[in-house]
Amino acid sequence: MHPIMSAFPAVNNTAAPNPAPFFAQNLLNPPLPTNAAWQNFALNKGNQSEYVHPYLIQSNHGTLTVSYAARVVNASLIFQVFLANIIISCASSGSHKITHYDDLSVTLKLPGPLMVPLVRGSPYITCIVKGGHLKFSTIHSVLNVYSFNGYTKHKIQFDNGQTWLLYSSVPLQLNSDLSVSGGFLGVLRLALLSDKFNQVADEKERVLDRFSSCYPISAHVDLTAPFRISYKWKTRGWGDLLMLSHSVHRRIMTAPGHDKVISEFGYRSMDGDLVGIVGDSWVLEETPIPITWYSIKGFQSHKEMQRVVSALEQDVADLNPINTTATYFYGKQIARVARLALIAEETHSHSLIPRVREFLEQSITPWLDGTFKGNGFVYDNKWGGLISRNGANDSTADFGFGVYNDHHYHFGYFCYAIAVLAKLDQNWAWRFKPQVYSIVKDFMTVNPAEELLYPRLRSFDLWKLHSWASGLTEFPNGRNQESTSEALNAYYSAALLGLVYGDTDLIGIGSTLAALEMRSAKAWWHVPLNTTVYESEFVQENRVIGILWANRRVSELWFAPAEWRECRMGIQVLPILPITELLFSDVGYVKELVEWTVPALNRKAVGDGWKGFLYALESLYDKDSALQKVKTLKGYDDGNSLANLLWWIYTRGGSDRF
């Protein structure tokens, strides 16, 4: 048991797997990571591959398999095919153990004397061999093996067009069939030199030679200052450290300087080109963003405001008890009502606020005091986290909430509604602060060594700089995330809670993660016509990703086929908030997205809820047209309302029509 208790009752989480098979004994005490980029290594048999940029890595029956994957592209998907390019073992079988993990790495201890620190963004795979007989193999035919530098460097050529470099800290007798003569005690570093798509290798080889002797074994990310992210790698060996950066890194990197960027050295990846950076510490400076309760631009006229007030009065009058016990849909609906309170404040409709406040208090309090009928929040001592009572016994309940799927989505909606109610009622806010902080800390904990109950930033990936929604479910393509806008809502809402409670740390980390999530959404989920991240065949047919996997990009959604473009667009917009304006700041892209989506509306039975999000985007460049189309809607998404749609459109500036 933990030395401090959760604000919610403990539960035996039978839906989640047992972490014991794959974590070293000293790591078994919760909280444990549930949404890490390497989570497959801790699930089921632990033998599904993970994408450790730029390589796919598999640990299976005592072997480590390294793949620089072939890329497959068509109009609806992009993925990398895992092939066993090089297989390494130490003549022992069995499962690996995770002996260390941190913000940017995980270390696997394979059976026998083989330790593998997998550090994301390293152009080399490093193996620390503490004696024993090494084995190398491949699915390819070996064309040539060349030895250099007293058998401490080997060049291996395969019949698939790949050439690999293998460095060793002491001489290694590698034969032409990849067998090894004698034992080995030392460090190995393996790197792809070239493949059939990139045969210009001389300069790349010189770079790999130069930096082969310094290897990272772990890393830490400092988040102390708002909008500033500092990477620091712990290294061994000698010389400077060479790492790879993706495009989001490079856009906000302030250190090392440009003289440490090796622009001619790089690898392709699922996330665009990876480029070499020299140095064992980086500093990333994100552009600060405003965290506001209300619209950024405000209303342009009193007449427009009154039109919103008319819709608002009707929406408040129509409030009815919420008739679902599902955490996701319940959260959406209380967040929808919370929007009404803030719109009432912004439009000076103060007489409407007491009814909304009462509704929120009656709807939220039972979840916090344990009196909610049909579900509730409970604490999982197995992995360390807040889950739903229904999810604790059923891995499919609440969209897999008991196995840590979508935590930032569900709790993001709850946090938004709680933040608004806490703003309206300070007595309520302080009465339920322990429960409120249990909810937000489930996905926003920065220092688990002090806070003890929850892992560090459960959903947020500090290397990719966005969130992963999938939790303790094994997938062949790694973690995934569908809705970036709901992820943004989670961090924005956490920052709002920080405003309510005067918590500058929570404001800082919430706003920082919100800014990074937005930047990554624009880089990888949004697909403008001029993007160079994805191939033209895919770009021509897609303006937005359906589901982004670590090793796959697809057009379909969990709940809809690729042809339902209105759903693909809408899931990247909802919920409509003040911060949505920053997410869709590129109006040129917005117009492309709207025009790409519109033909899908010709399909029968397209829901008005999805149309509402499309018209909200259209208002960014054609307010008059959007207003006329909103008039035709007969319904709205369960997290949206007419008042919220009109609030959004009328705070875009421009026309005075409706």
C-alpha–C-alpha distance, residues 548 and 479, integer Å: 9
Beta bridge partners of residue 189, listed in sequence order:
126, 167
The residues, any chain, with a CB within 8 Å of residue 224's CB and separated by 6 or more, are none
Marked catalytic residue, from 345, 482, 581, 618: 482
Closest CA to 231 of 252, 214, 247: 252
Closest CA to 35 of 440, 454, 435: 454
Catalogue the long-range contacts made by 427-430 (C-beta closer than 8 Å, 24 or more residues apart): 428/361, 428/365, 429/500, 429/501
Instruction: Tell me if residue 406 is catalytic.
Output: yes
Structure tokens at 303: 């007449």
Measured CA to CA in angstroms, residue 574 lies from 96, 299, 417, 611 at distances of 41, 21, 15, 12
User: What is the DSSP secondary-structure string of 26-80?
Assistant: GG-SSP--SS-TTGGGGSTTS-S-EEETTEEEEEETTEEEEE-PEEEE-SSEEEE
Instruction: Tell me if residue 486 is catalytic.
Output: yes
Marked catalytic residue, from 406, 581, 592, 622: 406
C-alpha–C-alpha distance, residues 293 and 577, integer Å: 9
C-alpha–C-alpha distance, residues 132 and 117, integer Å: 18
Structure tokens at 614: 């499309």
Marked catalytic residue, from 486, 581, 592, 622: 486
Strand 281-285, strand 274-278: pairing:
unpaired
C-alpha–C-alpha distance, residues 501 and 495, integer Å: 10
Beta bridge partners of residue 285, listed in sequence order:
228
The residues, any chain, with a CB within 8 Å of residue 225's CB and separated by 6 or more, are 508
H helix or E strand, kind and range, residue 356: helix 353-369
DSSP 544: B
Structure tokens at 32: 């444990």
C-alpha–C-alpha distance, residues 172 and 182, integer Å: 8
- The catalytic residues are 406, 482, 486
